[in-house]
Structure 1
């Protein structure tokens, strides 16, 4: 849940800071959104495993 919120904030900031005539910025924003989201999800899995007691 937090990963999705952070990824949306990053995407929104990329879209806001883009110049007006940029036609590929939406695809770049979606790509960065996906990268940030999946990195944070993997990180949260590692934290969850550490809390449970698995050493990853």
Structure 2
């Protein structure tokens, strides 16, 4: 993944984090997004995988 694409994903990830944290909504990142937020960027991410507690 190139640096420009990585920066776009980070911007989206932090936007989502801010919304969930402000709403006190429990969440976790899943699949390729989990790898991405843990620093593994040697792949092309094509979606954002998020798990949200079922009753939110």
TM range (shorter): 0.3 to 0.5
* Structure 1 or 2: more strand by fraction: 2
1 or 2, which has the higher helix percentage?
1
Bigger Rg, structure 1 or 2: 1
Q: State the TM-score, normalized to the length of structure 1.
A: 0.42
Tell me the TM-score normalised to structure 2 length.
0.42
